[in-house]
């Protein structure tokens, strides 16, 4: 949510930002908020004036009574008695106007960074840099589900019976490898100075509304029937929610956290759920990083965070590239975002394994997260980035480390988490 001062003082800037995001249907909201804000401030001003007059005349009544001027005091008292209804009506009008302004402001997108490329959708995202040389071996890389099958590591049939499409059982060495990658990701970020955290896996609706747009919520979140609780789609949600309504001392910033959680997503829409394999599923696990910092430090952390993800994947022999999200692919709360994509030697292309975003004060403004400074309280800047989301990260690992005989090499970084194993041997 943007600062309403931007609409008061720079309406054209807000409108131009909406046009660059190809959301012209939201343009009327800017003028509507502008007019509603004028009416709201007028109602508040009239209410404040009436309250002032009421207090002044109430004090005058006391003075007149002390002077024995009861008739004059009674006349003013009758006049003051009418103020209550007028003030109440103005307060109600102000409250209704503020509610409508808030509803509109929650839909108006955040102001993007000037460096964001302009484009209608993800087809216009811009490749920034490649890390590691992609290698396509002389043998055909099997589908990741077949690599897992050779290791007796995947059972989707049983998961279909217990839970339906989009779920899975990981077994044996594959399950251990999955956990090893997450444990390594945890320690990787701890070594970078981030504090490890395991957050709640369910959050209330006010936190959901604070961290994401309504459209994202409807497409992603599972609601717990009969309760004001949602299963998290990423631990960023509950990690940012941890600071809801808090005033943080300036000297305590930056706050750098890395969190583990299972994640649950509907995955509705055009992509749908994959019948075979693990690429798009309803349930996965994730190691995330979350930062709260001063506004002037935001971009510095943004560059650090995506580089950590690149470094993590390169340590596992996985070539990656960074892709900057264009304006039309940028979620409404985000100022700037880039994806980290891993190379798939099977498909000879890259696919998304992580996303790094800076959101300015949008989440902080929605959730009331501020820092206490010598100049007063100011909203903090929030950032989030994926260290590892798996089994998607597992797919990238398997494709880039599988051998022709079906065995899978274990890079040195993962061996301490795999009991010292250097290779997983095919069972079939």
How far is Cα 401 from Cα 284, in angstroms, rounded to an integer? 21
Task: Give the residues across from 385 on adjacent strands.
Answer: 289, 356
CA angle 399, 285, 391 (to 5 degrees): 15
CATH of domain 122-424: 3.30.930.10
- The C-alpha angle 59, 62, 67, rounded to 5 degrees, equals 130
Per-residue pLDDT, 66: 77
* Interior/surface letters 395-420, b for 16+ CB within 10 angstroms, e for the rest: bbbbbbbbeeebbbebbebbeebbee
Task: Give the pLDDT of residue 427.
Answer: 72
Instruction: Identify the CATH class of 4-105.
Output: mainly alpha
pLDDT digits (tens, 9 = 90+) for 335-359: 999 999 999 999 999 999 999 999 9
For helices 172-191 and 392-401, the axis angle rounded to 10 degrees is: 100
Query: What are the domain boundaries of the chain?
Result: 4-105, 122-424
Cα separation values, 107 from 1, 40, 135, 213, 266, Å: 8, 19, 44, 7, 22
pLDDT per position as a tens digit, 219-237: 788 999 999 999 999 989 9
Which residues in the chain come in under a pLDDT of 70?
Answer: 214, 268-275, 428
pTM for this predicted structure: 0.90
Which 8-state DSSP code applies to residue 3? -
Degrees, nearest 5: CA angle 181-184-185:
85
């Amino acid at each position: 949510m943007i600062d309403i001062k931007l609409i008061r003082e720079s309406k054209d800037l807000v409108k131009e930002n909406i046009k660059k995001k190809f959301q012209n249907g939201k343009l009327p909201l800017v003028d509507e908020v502008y007019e509603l804000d004028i009416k709201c401030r007028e109602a508040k001003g009239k209410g404040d004036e009436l309250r002032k007059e009421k207090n002044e005349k109430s004090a005058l009544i006391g003075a007149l009574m002390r002077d024995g001027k009861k008739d004059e005091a009674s006349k003013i008292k009758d006049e003051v008695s009418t103020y209550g209804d007028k003030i109440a009506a103005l307060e109600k009008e102000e409250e209704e106007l503020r509610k409508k302004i808030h509803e509109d402001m929650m839909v108006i997108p955040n102001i993007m960074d000037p460096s964001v490329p302009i484009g209608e959708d993800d087809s216009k995202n811009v490749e920034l840099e490649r890390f590691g040389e992609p290698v396509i071996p002389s043998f055909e890389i099997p589908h990741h589900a077949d690599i897992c099958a050779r290791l007796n590591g995947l059972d989707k049939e049983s998961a279909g019976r217990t839970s339906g499409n989009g779920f899975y059982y990981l077994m044996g060495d594959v399950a251990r490898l999955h956990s090893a990658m997450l444990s390594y990701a945890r320690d990787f970020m701890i070594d970078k100075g981030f504090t490890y955290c395991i957050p709640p896996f369910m959050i209330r609706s006010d936190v959901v509304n604070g961290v994401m747009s309504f459209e994202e919520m409807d497409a992603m979140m599972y609601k717990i029937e009969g309760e004001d609780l949602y299963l998290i789609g990423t631990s960023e949600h509950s990690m940012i929610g941890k600071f809801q309504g808090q005033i943080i001392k300036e000297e305590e910033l930056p706050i750098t956290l890395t969190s583990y959680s299972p994640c649950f997503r509907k995955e509705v829409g055009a992509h749908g759920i994959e019948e075979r394999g693990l690429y798009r599923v309803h349930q996965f696990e994730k190691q995330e990083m979350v930062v709260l910092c001063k506004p002037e430090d935001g971009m510095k952390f943004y560059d650090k965070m995506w580089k950590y993800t690149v470094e993590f994947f390169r340590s596992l022999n996985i070539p990656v590239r960074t892709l900057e999200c264009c304006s039309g692919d940028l979620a409404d709360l985000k100022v700037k975002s880039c994806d980290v994509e891993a190379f798939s030697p099977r498909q000879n292309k890259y696919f998304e394994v992580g996303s790094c975003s800076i959101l300015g004060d949008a989440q902080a403004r929605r959730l009331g997260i501020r820092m206490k400074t010598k100049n007063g309280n100011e909203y903090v800047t929030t950032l989030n980035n994926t260290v590892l989301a798996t089994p998607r990260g597992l797919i990238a690992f398997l494709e880039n480390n599988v051998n022709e005989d079906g065995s899978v090499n274990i890079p040195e970084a993962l061996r301490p988490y795999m009991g010292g194993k250097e290779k997983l041997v095919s069972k079939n």
